[in-house]
Structures are given as C-alpha cells and as structure tokens.
Chains A and B, each alone.
Chain A
Amino acid sequence: GAGVSQSPRYKVTKRGQDVALRCDPISGHVSLYWYRQALGQGPEFLTYFNYEAQQDKSGLPNDRFSAERPEGSISTLTIQRTEQRDSAMYRCASSLGSLAGTSYNEQFFGPGTRLTVL
C-alpha cells in the first residue's frame, strides 16, 4: 500500500511569510508525528497526534509553530512569520498506534519537506 506522503517536497519562502506543510499518513494509522531534522542529526520530536487529538506538543519550538489533524488523517504543520532559523527538513511519521510492547509503535516516515527561509 501507499506509504506516508508529504507535500510540498521543497519549499522556499521569504522571511516573515507563513508556510503550511502537509502530511498524509498510511491509511488506518492512528498516531502521527512531526519531526524536524538538521543535517547530520537524528530527528527532533515536535508534536504528535492520536486520531485528531494532539497529545503532546512539547517539542514545538515556540508559538509560531502549530499543527492540526482535524479529521484524524491528514495533518498540517504551520509555521507563522518564518525566520531563517526555521530552515530544516521537516518529517512526518505514522504508526498503527501506541500500544506498549507491540509493533504498534513502529513508525513509518515520509520523504520530508525541505524548508528554506531566505
């Protein structure tokens, strides 16, 4: 079946503009995660959802960052008033769920959106 998809794959924007990054998870996956990954580093957790509920947003850097998943499927990560330091690869992942000790936690990652803020 189809994997996790993200759009756009590349986004170049000017400082101060708002951007919206989209994630389409694997069908039937309950949990959806957003990460930011700098070059040469592992993914850094931003936020995650179970169904439409945002369970943890402790990784969002500041209040310019927000995420939603209104119908429990597609999610959007929005960055308002972008700054150059927001430039990074933004990755989305989904999993079946969060049942402890089971394969439900295994995450499948999308290809990412490369954001460049000029």
Chain B
Amino acid sequence: EDQVTQSPEALRLQEGESSSLNCSYTVSGLRGLFWYRQDPGKGPEFLFTLYSAGEEKEKERLKATLTKKESFLHITAPKPEDSATYLCAVLHNYGQNFVFGPGTRLSVLP
C-alpha cells in the first residue's frame, strides 16, 4: 500500500533559523513528488514537482530535493510569512491517484 509520512509533525523556528522538513514515501513506481503550502482556511498552493532521484528545485527561501525514498524541503533563513502547513504528495506510475502526507505545521517566530 502506498504511504507518505512527514516529519516533524510541527516545527517552530526563530526568524532566520534554517531547517529541513522530511517527506518519506513507499510507492511502487514514483512518477512525481509534489510539495504544497497550505495556509489556514485555504486550499493547498503548489510549490514544486520532483521527478527523479537527485533532482533539486529552488524558489526563494525554499529548496526541495529528492532521493529514492524521501524528499526534503529546506528552508533557508525563514521569515514569519513562511509560516504554513507544508504538504507533500506522491503520484505513482499506475494511475492518477495522488497520495498526500499529513503535513508539517511550520511556525516562524519574529
């Protein structure tokens, strides 16, 4: 059965304190791994897609990396506006059934 787990469940950082969020997956044939940001009361907002091990993508203070079993979302010098829940989702080879993880709630304190 496809599974996606994320850690930590919640993370509190001081402004400027860099850290990483983890997304681990077990899926038969990964076709893509997706990172989303979700603000309270809103729908998830697309951030990145990673397709193969070794791939990296960056956007402002965020950098996503992918290995064969997990992905990391690195946050460099975060600001309070980076506070949100970060979700990862995987898409396997045999369908269009996206499996989401439970998310990591990030709080960045000024």
Contact = CB atoms under 8 A, between A and B. Distances in A.
A33 B91 CA distance: 13
A51 B94 CA distance: 19
Interface string A33-77: 101000011111100101000011011000000000000000000
Nearest to A91: B43
Contacts of B93: 100
For chain B, which range describes its interface: under 10, 10 to 19, 20 to 34, or 35 or more residues? 20 to 34
A98 B96 contact: yes
Contact of B102 (A31, A42, A106): A42
Interface string B70-110: 00000000000000000101010101111111110000000
Contacts of A84: none
A10 to B, nearest CB: 12
Interface string B21-53: 000000000011010100000111110010100
B100 A43 contact: yes
For chain A, which range describes its interface: under 10, 10 to 19, 20 to 34, or 35 or more residues? 20 to 34
B23 to A, nearest CB: 11
B96 A48 contact: yes
Interface string A103-118: 1011111111000000
Contacts of B100: 35, 42-45
B96 A42 contact: no
B102 A41 contact: yes
Contacts of B45: 109
B98 A106 contact: no
A41 B31 contact: no
User: Which 8 A-B pairs rank lowest in CB-CB distance, beginning with the nearest?
Assistant: A109-B43, A42-B100, A43-B100, A109-B44, A42-B87, A106-B46, A98-B96, A42-B102
Given A41-B103, A50-B96, 8 more contacts: A42-B87, A42-B89, A42-B103, A45-B99, A105-B34, A107-B34, A109-B45, A111-B43
Interface of B: 4, 31-32, 34, 36, 42-46, 49, 51, 87, 89, 91, 93, 95-103
Interface of A: 4, 31, 33, 35, 40-45, 48, 50, 55-56, 58-59, 91, 93, 98, 100-101, 103, 105-112
